[in-house]
């Protein structure tokens, strides 16, 4: 009888289920696209039920296609888009409104007021900045915007959570309301030093604290997924926010290399050990998964730089401008020109995140001439992703004692060789793509395997990380980067 681990990777643009064996080898993947709605400028929404159905159906499909009745599903690990926020009825599990996406800016004004009144406290306790990116103000917005919701919340009829809590509720029939530290830390409501909800911040954001889930370690048994739900009964053995899960998948269990995940956004994380860094200009301090994987472990932390628009700008070229038929086609288009021809693109569809935190900045395409065509725009878009990552790397290095000697990359866009060469050239250091590029799901499987007892701790899983390709600098892009910085500063000035 063979035994397997299932990773549920619930992202912004798709829900995926990936099956791994006991040697952490990927055996099968099933992916279901997930729509994203933009009801008005700056607003981003998703259907909570569509999130659930897509993740459930992806899991059912990969299990049905791969396992037999004799096989054993040891357990499930969940990795999820983090700050996206849902409020639902405690008894019926019915959402009261849309899932408000992590990119959504509808609470920007509220967050500006929070920054003025509580900014220092938020940074000191949560490791975050007061920004619409995070979940607490989204909860309050739903309670204030749906008739009767606030009164129902005060009466205990409603609960709130991020996508992990929603999936756990649906998988278990709502028997428990749970989250983990990595997801709780993205709400602006969680004290990352005490590892507990902060009643003072909850009051400041007008969020009834009893709506919030119980917080557990990332590596723990959460709920039991029933055979009726997925076709196989199995415990949920780990829950990790997607970026911290990718940190695990990239074997960054201690200070050393940094990783960047190119998804809808781009997220750079570097492990800082068991000590939380103090407020770092431009960056976030966030809990990571403790390497020994034990509930009694000291908390672990990472520094994070969040770039809100990365893969999203490629999707824009595909869906709105229709310059490419599929996202992967941007590499061929951009390779058809030697450079961007002086074109600079500022990827600020949802404002600029780290290290600027300028929510009012909007995207800008600058330097267009009569000779500008689709290839130059495509190349400028790829450069813009790499340039934004460079900004975050420089902020990280300015705040730490050691340089980022090597950048480990993952996510869908990490398949793009041209992007990774541009990234190496603009950073002037090696960029490494691992053999297992599905590192977010890989991290979910590894944490579930530690929880199941397959491996004693996360350090023991480092042997599964293997490099597949290294991109070394072969030129520099300083002139293009300087030109891009000017465009970025102009975009910031226009948004001020």
What pLDDT, on the 0 to 100 scale, is given for residue 145? 96
Extract the runs of DSSP E, i.e. beta strands, from 245-359: 258-262, 266-273, 284-288, 300-307, 344-346
User: Measured in whole angstroms, how far is the alpha carbon of residue 125 from the centre of its chain?
Assistant: 21
What pLDDT, on the 0 to 100 scale, is given for residue 231? 82
Q: Alpha helix (H) ranges present in 232-342?
A: 242-249, 311-319, 329-335
What pLDDT, on the 0 to 100 scale, is given for residue 401? 67
Cα dist. 291→256, 441, 445 in Å? 14, 17, 15
Per DSSP, the three-state class of 435 is: coil
Token pair of 282 as six digits: 């431009």
CA torsion sign for 423, 10, 256, 351 is positive
DSSP string, 50-115: HHHHHHHHHHHHHHHHH--TT-EEEEEEEEE-SS-EEEEETTT--BSSPEEPTT--TTHHHHHHHH
Q: What pTM, to 2 d.p., does this model score?
A: 0.89
CA torsion sign for 338, 343, 349, 355 is positive
- Residues in the chain where the model's pLDDT stays below 70: 1, 278, 292-298, 401-402, 496
Contact indicator for 382, 418 with CB cutoff of 8 Å: yes
What pLDDT, on the 0 to 100 scale, is given for residue 274? 77
What pLDDT, on the 0 to 100 scale, is given for residue 294? 63
Convert the pLDDT of each residue in 269-300 to its tens digit.
988 877 777 677 888 999 999 876 665 566 88
Average pLDDT of the chain is 91
- Choose among 325, 466, 307, 456: nearest CA to 390: 307
- Choose among 61, 83, 77: nearest CA to 168: 77
- Which residues are registered as beta bridge partners of 407? 258, 431
Token pair of 26 as six digits: 């990927």
Annotated domain spans of the chain: 3-240
- Choose among 214, 190, 216, 200: nearest CA to 125: 190
Q: So what CATH class is 3-240?
A: alpha beta
Proportion of the chain above pLDDT 70, given as a percent: 97
Query: Burial, 26: exposed, middle or buried (Cβ in 10 Å; 0-12, 13-18, 19+)?
Result: middle
Convert the pLDDT of each residue in 460-494 to its tens digit.
899 999 999 999 999 989 999 999 999 999 999 99
258-262 and 26-33 as β-strands: parallel, antiparallel, unpaired? Answer: unpaired
């Amino acid at each position: 009888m063979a035994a397997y681990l299932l990773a549920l990777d619930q992202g912004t643009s798709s829900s995926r289920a990936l099956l791994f064996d006991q040697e952490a080898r990927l055996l099968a993947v099933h992916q279901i696209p997930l729509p994203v709605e933009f009801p008005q400028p700056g607003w981003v929404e998703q259907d909570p039920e569509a999130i659930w159905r897509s993740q459930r159906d992806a899991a059912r499909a990969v299990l049905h296609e791969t396992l037999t009745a004799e096989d054993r599903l040891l357990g499930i690990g969940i990795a999820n888009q983090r700050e996206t926020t849902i409020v639902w009825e405690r008894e019926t599990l019915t959402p009261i409104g849309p899932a408000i996406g992590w990119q959504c800016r509808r609470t920007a004004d509220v967050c500006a007021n929070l920054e003025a009144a509580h900014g220092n406290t938020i940074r000191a306790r949560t490791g975050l900045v007061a920004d619409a990116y995070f979940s607490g103000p989204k909860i309050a917005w739903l309670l204030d915007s749906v008739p009767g919701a606030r009164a129902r919340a005060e009466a205990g009829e409603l609960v709130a959570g991020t996508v992990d809590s929603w999936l756990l509720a649906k998988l278990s029939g709502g028997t428990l309301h749970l989250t983990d530290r990595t997801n709780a830390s993205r709400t602006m409501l969680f004290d990352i030093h005490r590892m507990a909800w902060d009643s003072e911040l909850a009051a400041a954001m007008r969020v009834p604290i009893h709506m919030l889930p119980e917080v557990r370690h990332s590596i723990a048994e959460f709920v039991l997924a029933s055979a009726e739900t997925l076709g196989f009964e199995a415990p949920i053995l780990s829950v990790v926010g997607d970026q911290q899960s990718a940190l695990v998948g990239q074997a960054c269990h201690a200070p050393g290399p940094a990783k960047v995940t190119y998804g809808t956004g781009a997220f750079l994380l570097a492990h800082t050990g068991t000590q939380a860094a103090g407020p770092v200009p431009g960056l976030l301090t966030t809990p990571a998964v403790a390497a020994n994987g034990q509930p009694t472990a000291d908390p672990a932390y990472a520094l994070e730089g969040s770039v809100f628009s990365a893969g999203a700008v490629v999707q824009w070229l595909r869906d709105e401008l229709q310059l490419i038929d599929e996202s992967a086609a941007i590499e061929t288009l951009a390779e058809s020109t030697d450079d961007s021809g002086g074109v600079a693109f500022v990827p600020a569809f949802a404002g600029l995140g780290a290290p600027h935190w300028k929510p009012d900045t909007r995207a800008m395409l600058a330097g267009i001439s009569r000779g500008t065509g689709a290839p130059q725009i495509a190349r400028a878009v790829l450069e813009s992703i790499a340039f934004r990552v460079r900004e975050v790397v420089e902020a990280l290095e300015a705040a730490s004692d050691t340089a980022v000697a090597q950048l480990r990359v993952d996510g869908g866009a990490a398949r793009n060789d041209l992007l990774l060469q541009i990234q190496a050239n603009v950073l002037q250091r090696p960029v490494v793509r691992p053999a297992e590029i599905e590192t977010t799901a890989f991290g979910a499987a590894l944490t579930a395997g530690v929880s199941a007892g397959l491996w004693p701790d996360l350090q023991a899983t480092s042997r599964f990380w293997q490099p597949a390709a290294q991109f070394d600098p072969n030129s520099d892009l300083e002139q293009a980067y300087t030109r891009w910085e000017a465009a970025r500063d102009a975009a910031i000035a226009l948004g001020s």
